[in-house]
Amino acid sequence: MEHYKSWLGIKRRLEESLCHSLKDRITYFLTRYHKVHDAYGRASIRFEGKELVCFSWIEMYRQEYEISKINKENSTISYKEAENTLKSVWDKNCTYDDMDFLDAVQKFFHLPIQDALLSDNYIIKVLAILDRRIGKRTLRQIAVSMEYLKYPDWVQQFYLLRLDFEQINI
């Protein structure tokens, strides 16, 4: 992951890129627990103060536990193979930690917006659908295709939120 200078700078950049209809309604949050071993943290995306999705260091432990469980069952499976096996479950359940969130944000900053919408990373998709560079024409295409209905519920809520606030009929 690319080193970042400050969370405030990242947060400002994310919130400046929000679409007009969700500006001052969506906020991004990150905290680090410096007194905890390795300064673990927690990130979230909030709508009007209500947390819609959370990326916590606890999920990192859940990921590690699930990988070790697979390795105990079959010691020939590599760490990467186990991770790939579990990815779809993690995507569905939003089993991501704060570093997964920060990594996705850094990647998002370097992607064209259309590539971000097509990303395999659901966090990047969420950041893209909230971005002001996604116009009404693209939103209408998204609504008509209904592709987002194949995404996990935690991702769908952001698509529905954006479509609703832009008054795009679903």
pTM metric for this prediction? 0.88
Q: How confident is the model at residue 3 (pLDDT cuts 50, 70, 90)?
A: low
Residue 1 lies in a domain: no
Q: What is the pLDDT of residue 22?
A: 96
- Crossing angle of helices 122-129 and 98-109, in 10° steps, is 60
99, pLDDT greater than 80: yes
163, pLDDT greater than 90: yes
Q: What is the pLDDT of residue 67?
A: 86
The domain tally of the chain equals 1
Q: What is the pLDDT of residue 36?
A: 61
What range defines the domain where residue 22 resides?
7-165
Mean pLDDT (whole number) for 39-49: 89
| Alpha-carbon span 12 to 5, nearest angstrom | 12
Contact predicate 94/102, CB 8 Å: no
Report CA 86 to chain centroid distance, whole Å.
Answer: 17
151, pLDDT greater than 90: yes
Strand partners, 54: 44
